[in-house]
Homo-oligomer: A and B are copies of this chain.
Amino acid sequence: MDIGAGGFPTPPYYAVIFTSRRTADDVDYAVTAQRMAELAADVPGFLGIDSVRQGPELGITVSYWRSMESIAAWRSHAEHKIARDTGRDRWYEAFEVHVAKVERSYRFTLPET
C-alpha cells in the first residue's frame, strides 16, 4: 500500500489475502473490481489495498484493515455480498482467503543518490 509513501500503520492491524484463479468470463469483472476497491476505501478502518494479476492463473489482492470489526463491516456490505456471489458464480474458478493479524512490518526505500 503506497510503497514509499507515508502513513505506514503500526501493528497490530489486519490483512486479508485473496488469491484467485479466474474463469474466462470477463463480463463486468474489471468494473466490479474497481467499484469494490472504491467501496472498501470508504469503510472505516480500511488502510489500503494492493492487487496484482498475472494472466488468469494467479491473482493476489491484499487489503489491510485496522481491526477485525472493520473487516466484518466490509463483509456485510450489501453490494460487496452481491459481488462475492457473482464472483463464485461466474468470475472465479478457485480462490483462497487468508485473514491474518499483522504482528510485525517494515519497509525499505532506496536512498536517493
A residues in contact (CB < 8 Å) with B: 1, 3-4, 8, 14-15, 17, 19-21, 23, 50, 52-54, 58-60, 62, 64, 88, 92-110
A70 to chain B: closest CB distance in Å? 15
Distance A21 CA – B101 CA, assembled complex (angstroms): 24
Are A60 and B62 neighbours in the complex by a CB distance under 8 Å?
A: yes
A3 partner, pick from B23, B94, B106, beta carbons under 8 A: B94
Are A107 and B97 neighbours in the complex by a CB distance under 8 Å?
A: yes
| A to B CB contacts below 8 Å, 28 in the list | A1-B19, A1-B96, A3-B20, A3-B21, A3-B94, A3-B95, A15-B15, A15-B17, A15-B98, A17-B17, A19-B50, A19-B62, A50-B58, A52-B54, A53-B54, A62-B62, A88-B108, A88-B110, A92-B108, A93-B110, A96-B106, A96-B107, A96-B108, A97-B107, A98-B104, A98-B105, A99-B103, A101-B101
